[in-house]
Amino acid sequence: MSKKVFEQIKSLITESRNPKTFRIDSLSTAQILKLINSEDKTVPQIIEKQIPQIAKAVELLVKTFQTGGRLFYIGAGTSGRLGILDAAECPPTFGSDPTMIRGIIAGGYKTLIRSKEGVEDNFKAAGNDLAKVKLNKKDILVGIAASRRTPYVLGGLKYAKKIGCKTIFIYCNPHLTSPIKIKADVEIPLIVGPEVIMGSTRMKAGTAQKLVLNMLSTAAMIKLGKVYQNMMVDLKATSQKLVERSKRTIMIVTGVDYKTASSYLKKADGNVKTALVMILAKVDKKKAKRRLEKARGFVRRALEK
């Protein structure tokens, strides 16, 4: 078994040596940083080629959310942490329900702060973890695995497909010979090439994954009406910073002063969308809410009506 894994790893691009960095250990600090930076610059260009696939994934996410489904990210190590990070940042940014987008990492949440080797090799554990959160066919699962062979992630994708759940697979290596054949509904290959340090996929691979997760969740939230123009208008004012950001958003969009923005935010029960429609459409709170309901939460549509 170990020899099979050895052969798989040997064939991975992310496990190969980068010829540009053979002498990195003999360079000055500035030279090391320039070399890392030059490699990082290649990542956005690689992602650009996958925009059609990313767009398909976003449309799947939007459809899932509109029909009451949830998004689950699943990964091990860096990939798992990035999924949890993206999920954790959506509620304060977009006012989404914390159960709407969730991240699952091999080994459980304790591995968020301390790596635990070996947990990624447990193929069956992912199915057990997904069963605990009651994954169902209305939901969507995004598997994240730089190597494309992580047993835990493949096990999760297989479980999801078995119960009829839609799947998206983000990986950083081309197809390889593996006893486990998984075909996701949407695949997003981010072939970033050899890392600056051989096998350190927290670098270019991790950066590519992070950028794509940003694109998936942000674009989906825009399509759900969580953004007006280019501003967050569905954020939950759960801290003083977010309260003041809400006021500033109202001021920028409508042109009112600080005192007026504060007054309307209070009248709107802290809801930025409602406050914006009240001011721009010159209606009371009740009518503003009705407009937003008819517009399915889109401020622009609510104002047009």
Active site residues: 89, 120
Q: In one letter, which amino acid is 298?
A: F
DSSP line for 101-137? EEEEETT-GGGGTS--TTGGG-HHHHHHHHHHTT--T
Q: Give the neighbor-by-neighbor strand order of the sheet with 140-145.
A: 101-105, 71-75, 140-145, 166-171, 186-189
3-state secondary structure of 293: helix
Instruction: Work out the burial of residue 109: count CB atoms within 10 Å of its CB; fewer than 13 is exposed, 13-18 middle, 19 or more buried.
Output: exposed
Instruction: Give the list of residues 6+ apart from residue 79 with CB closer than 8 angstroms, or none.
Output: 144, 145, 146, 150, 153, 206, 209
Count of alpha carbons within 13 Å of 147, Cβ hemisphere only? 28
Strand-strand pairing, 101-105 and 140-145: unpaired
What's the token pair of residue 251? Answer: 């001021």
Compute the C-alpha angle 162/86/101, nearest 5°.
45
